[in-house]
């Protein structure tokens, strides 16, 4: 399933009176577990990467960001990846 945009997840959910879970990722295993849970229930999900997560990874966003994108792209449910707290360098950093 292709990587989804948050709006593509939230708009249909709001129309049905539902929400979309958004969960913070700290390590790769968290992203895998979050997506596995979403797949088991057939629900879309948002993986969030915070500035604290980037700090945990020695200030390197790219490895955890790219890993989350790869997990999202391989998922069988729609998954969006959100860079929380407005990290100034983006995923290419």
Q: What are the tens digits of pLDDT across the range 58-79?
A: 999 999 999 999 999 999 999 9
If DSSP codes are grouped into helix, strand and coil, which group holds residue 50?
A: coil
How many other CB atoms are found less than 10 A from the CB of residue 26?
A: 14
Spatial neighbors of 63 by CB under 8 A, at least 6 apart, are 57
pLDDT value of residue 93 = 47
Domain count, the chain: 1
* Residue at 91 is within a domain: no
pLDDT above 70 (res 90): no
Q: CA 26, CA 49: separation in Å to the nearest integer?
A: 7
**Cβ(6)–Cβ(82) below 8 Å:** yes
Residues noted as catalytic: 84
- Residue range(s) defining the domain that contains residue 55: 6-83
Confidence of residue 80 (pLDDT cuts 50, 70, 90): very high
* Residue at 61 is within a domain: yes
* Residue at 77 is within a domain: yes
* Residue at 92 is within a domain: no
Q: What pTM, to 2 d.p., does this model score?
A: 0.87
Calculate mean pLDDT across residues 41-70: 94
């Amino acid at each position: 399933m292709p990587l989804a945009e948050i709006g593509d997840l939230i708009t249909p959910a709001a129309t049905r009176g539902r929400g979309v879970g958004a969960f913070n990722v700290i390590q790769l295993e968290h992203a895998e577990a979050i997506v596995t849970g979403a797949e088991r229930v057939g629900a879309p999900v948002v993986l969030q990467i915070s500035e604290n997560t980037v700090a945990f990874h020695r200030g390197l966003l790219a490895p955890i960001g790219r890993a989350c994108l790869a997990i999202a792209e391989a998922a069988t449910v729609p998954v969006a990846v959100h860079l929380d707290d407005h990290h100034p360098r983006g995923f290419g950093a």
